[in-house]
Structure 1
Amino acid sequence: MTALWSALFFFIGVAAGAYYMKRKTSDHRSHELEALLTDLQNRHENYQQDVRSHFDHSAQLANEMTQRYRDLHEHLRAGAQVLCDDPKRSRDDNPAHQFVGLAGPAPEPQAPNPYGNIESGDFSYYEPPRDYATKDPQDKGMLDERYGFK
C-alpha cells in the first residue's frame, strides 16, 4: 500500500512540477515577447522621428537654396541694368534686358476644356469611342456589341 501511495505522490509531484515549469516558461516567453514588442515600437518611433527631422532639414535647405538663387538672380539683373544699360544699343542687343522676372515668361494659352461648360444632362458634345481597327466591311470591329460572338 505504501508503494501505491508513493507512486501516487510521485505522479502528483511530477504533474505539479510540469505545470509549474510550463507556467514559468510561458511567463518568461511572454515577458520576452513584450520586451521585443516594446523595443520594436521604440525603434519605429525613432525611425519616424529621424524621417521627420530629415525632411524638415531638407525643406529648410531647399528653401535657403531657392532664396539664394533669387538673391543671385536679382543681383545679376540689377548689375546688368546698372552696368550694361546703354541707350545707344538696341533692346535685343542689350544684356540688361535679357533677364526675365522671377515669375518667368507669361504661360502659353491653353486650349479650352471642351467638357468644362457642359451642363448636367447635356451630353451632345461627347463622341462615342471610335473603332480604328482595320477590318473588312463584313467584319465587326472590336467595339461592336456582337464582336467575338458567332
Structure 2
Amino acid sequence: MDYSLLVWLLPTLALVIGVAVGFLVARVLPNAVPNSTQRQLDDIQERFDSYQNEVVTHFNSTAILVKKLTQSYQEVQDHLAEGANRLALDELTRQRLLAALHSDSTTQAHRERLTPPRDTEVPKDYAPKAPNSPGMLDEQYGLKRK
C-alpha cells in the first residue's frame, strides 16, 4: 500500500507545487511588465501631445505672418496710390496711374483660362489609306505588281 500511496502522492504534490509556483509567477511578473508598457504608452502620449502643440503653434504663426504680409501689401498699395496722387503732374496721368495700380490686382484675380483648341479630332492609331488601296496589314501591301 505504501507504494500506491507514493504513486498518487508524488504527482499530486507536484501538481499543487506547480500551481502554487505558477500562481506566484503570474502575480509577480504582470506587475513588472505593465509598468514598462505604461511608461512606453505615457512616453508616446507625451510625444504626441508635444507634436500637436508644435503643429498648432506652427499654423498660428503662419496665420500671423500671412496677416502681416497682407497688411504690408495693402500699405504698399496705399503708398503707391498716395504717390500717384501727389506726384502726378496732371489729372489724366493721375487717373492712368491709379487705373494701372488697381487693374493689376483685379486682372490677376480674374484671369481667364486658355481656350482649348477647336479641332477636337481624336488621333488615329492607324495609318490612313486611300480608298480602294490595300492597307498596311494586307498581304499585298508594299509589293510591286507585275
Q: Common fold, TM-score beyond 0.5?
A: yes
The residue number in structure 2 matching 1:132 is: 124
d(CA) in 2 for partners of 1:102, 1:28: 73
CA distance 1:103–1:67, change in 2 (3 Å): farther
The amino acid that maps onto 1:47 is Y
d(CA) in 1 for partners of 2:104, 2:39: 56
CA distance 1:139–1:53, change in 2 (3 Å): farther
Counterparts in 2 of 1:54-133, with a 5 A limit? Answer: 54-82=58-86, 84-87=87-90, 91=93, 97=97, 100-101=101-102, 104-106=105-107, 107-110=110-113, 130-133=122-125
The amino acid that maps onto 1:19 is F
Length-normalised TM-score, structure 2: 0.58
Q: Give the paired residue count.
A: 120
- Of residues 70-79 and 19-28 in structure 1, the stretch that sits farther from structure 2 once superposed is 19-28
SS at match of 2:29: helix
Length-normalised TM-score, structure 1: 0.56
Structure 1's unaligned 5+ residue stretches are 114-126, 141-150
- What displacement does 1:70 show? 1.1
CA distance 1:42–1:108, change in 2 (3 Å): closer
The amino acid that maps onto 1:16 is A
- What displacement does 1:139 show? 6.5
d(CA) in 1 for partners of 2:79, 2:20: 88
Name whichever structure is richer in helix by fraction. 2
- Of residues 22-31 and 46-55 in structure 1, the stretch that sits farther from structure 2 once superposed is 22-31
Q: Which protein has the larger Cα radius of gyration, Structure 1 or Structure 2?
A: 2
